[in-house]
A and B are shown apart, each in its own frame.
Chain A
Amino acid sequence: MEIDDKTIKMAATLSGIELEDEKTEAMAEFFKEMIGHFQGLEMCDVEGLDPFFNLDGSSCPFREDVQVCWENRDRALEAGGLIEGAFFIVPPIGGAEVADEI
């Protein structure tokens, strides 16, 4: 499996992280070493096994969708970056070039 700068840039884009160019090479070396270890899993016989399970065999619990009054909403808003009233402020999502990048 080839790991190069393009792989790292793809992973960084998916991760939403701006990665400096000078760190790309070190990250590629790290990926190569990790993927070498990951490929060791090919030696494990997993034929017929279901990958999706809960540790104690239970299924996902449901709860009633009931609105509850929470007194600390203002604190939660204050902890954010920029707020206006009861809303967090974000910049515009972006145009076509951003969509391409994602």
Chain B
Amino acid sequence: MKSEPMDAAVIASAVAGRKCSAVEVVSASLERIAAQEPRLNALITVMADRALERAAFIDRQVASGGDPGPLAGVPVVVKDNLCTLGVRTTCGSRMLENWNPPYDADVVEMLERAGSVIVGKSNMDEFAMGSTSEHSCFGPVSNPRDLSRVPGGSSGGSAASVAAGYVPIALGSDTGGSIRQPAAFCGVHGLKPTYGAVSRWGLVAFASSLDQVGPFSRSVVDMALTMDVIYGRDPRDSTSNERGRPRFAEGALNPSVRGMRVGIVREFREGVLDQPLAKAIEDAALALGESGCTMADVSLEESVTFGLPCYYIISPAEASSNLARFDGTRYGLRKDGPDFVSQLQRTRGAGFGDEVKRRILTGSFVLSSGYYDAFYTTALKVRKKICAEFDRIFASVDVILMPTVPSFPFRKGDFDGDPVGMYKSDLFTLPVNLAGLPGMTVFTGLERSGLPTSVQLVAPRWQDQRLIECAAVIEGKFGRPPVAIGRCF
């Protein structure tokens, strides 16, 4: 096998063309995982036996002349809040430590139907609540670019798996930035689709009006190939929809950005970013300009001022409802009591970590009598204003260019005892979830320290393809994310 990184596109072509076998590719991925996992802790469950069986099946399919699919033999990792039939799905929580789902998530079915091989379930902040991947009952994840730093969260394990070269593609979920922020911290690409563009069937819910599943990758072409597989309406998810049938792979190979108007966010320029991240915005704008885009200043004043409190009312409120199902009866951990209420309280007291408890209590509080209108109803109205602000901006620009994160990855423990400090770092990502828009982190380079820089692109709802096209232009200028730590398969 080659020692330099192999893209999903290259693997799929090689496996389908019998230049290498799926078993060889998956074996190399598993070897790399075994070598690096003691340092990274990016995976909760490694599915070695099942992955090799599946790879052998793909090889038999190819040998008999069958069509193995566009991701034939490609090893992938999925976040551990995506259900996998017969393979434990823990959400990083004691509550579901040994829970085996009775079904596959829609995106898992789509990936396997496309020929890919799931090699592991990635580590994450518990129930997707967190921005560092330190809040898992399976221990924290390390950033492959600097082991003393966090990979971001909550999809830190998926981001780290791609950055470290375990796999070329991983899936995460994004409720307030949990794909885009770890992509920025780990130096890979990460995309949150339009709300409703990818099915949430089989995604353990955190905040149902905000959650979306999306991919990580080390190349825009791989990102596009994955989107072509997972995008689309699923009748099992009543919030999923489909507007047209974008051809993401074509957009990645032949981006058409000439004439696109790019909005640069005024509030995120002056003095709020680490200097290399501000320079990344300027350099990305230059690259898009050289390809025929025009630039314009835009303002996200309401999102910047009100986005954080709005999000941290709505998301805990929805979480308190979604996590009410964990009562020791039908799923996971059970701590007995003399009556049902005692069982409920003891189970949830023992099963949830501190961050999850903080958010559930906050959610219950803002929904309670006497506070509901002051907090929750008001937040829903403010959310409508934030949506309207983006709608106004997109009347005059086609895509927004802004930062994903204000700083380089945090050091481990930076926010111990300061959860609100951690929340503030989501300022640039969560308004995109509130408005249901597609957003993508695009890698733009590594500093001398080895730490990555990136930018965020945001498009109107259902214009996810614009992200891929602009990202392809930026990648053409800055190059692709290199694998961190040693050799790849």
Contacts and interface: CB of A to CB of B under 8 A. Distances in A.
Contacts of A86: none
B336 A91 contact: yes
B387 A44 contact: no
Band of interface residues on B = 35 or more
B65 interface: no
Nearest to A94: B339
A69 interface: no
Interface stretch (B41-49, B144-152, B172-180, B376-384): B376-384
A34 interface: yes
A47 to B, nearest CB: 9
Contacts, number: 173
A55 B309 contact: no
A93 B330 CA distance: 16
B241 A56 contact: yes
Given A15-B320, A19-B357, A90-B340, A75 B379 contact: no
Interface string B279-322: 00000000000000000000000100110111011000000100
B420 interface: yes
Nearest to A7: B365
Q: Is the interface of B mostly helix, strand, loop or mixed?
A: helix
Contacts of B195: 55
Contact of A56 (B312, B327, B365, B436): B436
B338 A91 contact: yes
Contact of A94 (B100, B330, B341, B364): B341
B411 interface: no
Given A11-B368, A55-B435, A101-B341, A41 B379 contact: yes
Interface of A: 7-8, 10-12, 14-20, 23, 27, 30-31, 33-34, 37-38, 40-44, 46, 49-53, 55-56, 58, 60-61, 63, 72-73, 75-76, 78-82, 88, 90-95, 98, 101-102
17 contacts: A17-B357, A20-B349, A33-B420, A38-B379, A40-B306, A40-B309, A43-B305, A46-B385, A55-B209, A55-B461, A63-B238, A78-B100, A79-B101, A90-B329, A91-B343, A93-B341, A95-B339
Q: Which 10 residue pairs across A and B have the least CB separation, nearest first? A: A18-B349, A81-B334, A94-B339, A51-B380, A75-B102, A46-B381, A55-B436, A72-B102, A18-B345, A14-B364
